[in-house]
Amino acid sequence: MFWSLVLVAVMVGVVCYRWQRRRLYQIYKELSNSAKHYPIIGHTYLMRNSDANNGAVWFKAVGRLAIENGGITSFWMANKLYIMVADPETSEVILKSCMEKGFVTQFIRTVIGNGSIFAAVDIWRPRRKILAPVFSMKNLNEFVKVFNRQSMIMADTLEPMAGGADISVWRYFNTYTFDSVCETTLGIDLNSQKDPNHSFLIAFDFVSQEIAKRMVSPWMHPEFIYRMLPRYKKFVFHRKIIHNFVDEVIQIKLKQLSTFQKGDNKPSGTTLVDGVSV
């Protein structure tokens, strides 16, 4: 009798669970693809040819499914349904209408908190209004000067390799982006293109890859499990380097602002930090 009641309770629970998620199942049915879907694990078996250090394999596999399906498809990571979009026009519609962030963006918040576009809508929207004046045409024209100077440095770095064997340009574009972003937002010259071993650059690269790995690894999604893994200590170590670096820059900017309030050395207002402080 007892086990019969347990069985009935389980069956009722399963029915209620599926009923509450019926909209998700309908979306998957409409956006299904050629890849086989298994109970419980969903499409995570597609990771079998990748490893913990190459999460890009997973994105490429699902991206191909989206292209084969007309530019959009859906897939299951365990019990969570995700939509993969490979069509720019469809992406534009989605990005303009869906402001709430997905579950996996919480992993990015473990590094930047509620900063940037990854914050909740009620936090991000008013901040966007505050930042809007910083991106005036005048300031953007100043940013172009930075982009031009940094791109020339990248071109000079790549020039000796022209006509040679195939190379990966990831590191070069990565350091170029870092230098450009740091100068336009923080007003500092990171100079990572000439010094790729900069501690901040190494830490940011590690943290970015770690977050990407966690996103495509459902078994690392639960916070209590991730904190027990050896890789979590490495993540915290590199995250601290990033936070310390940003804190130092903020302190420098606060001192500059204090000087400005005394009537000297007015900030240019052309960087993100200067624009907000002014």
Give the model confidence (pLDDT) of 29-54 as tens digits. Answer: 888 777 788 887 787 777 765 554 45
Examine the pLDDT at 237 and tell me if it is beyond 90.
Answer: yes
* Other C-beta atoms lying within 10 Å of the C-beta of residue 24: 15
The C-alpha atoms of residue 122 and residue 99 are separated, in whole angstroms, by 10
How many residues can be counted in the chain? Answer: 278
Q: Is the pLDDT of residue 18 over 60?
A: yes
Of the candidates 57, 62, 66, the one whose C-alpha atom is nearest the C-alpha of residue 94 is 66
Handedness of CA 61, 65, 70, 71 (dihedral sign): negative
Mean pLDDT of 193-220: 85
The alpha carbon torsion through 221, 223, 224, 227 (nearest 10 deg) reads 100
- Cα–Cα distance, 47 to 12 (Å, whole number): 33
Q: Which residues contact 154 (CB under 8 A, 6 or more apart)?
A: 172, 173, 175, 176, 193
Amino acid 52: pLDDT: 45
- The runs of H, that is alpha helices, within the chain are 2-20, 22-30, 56-68, 88-97, 105-112, 121-131, 137-158, 170-181, 199-215, 223-226, 230-261, 272-277
Q: Is residue 273 scored above 90 in pLDDT? A: no
139 pLDDT more than 80: no
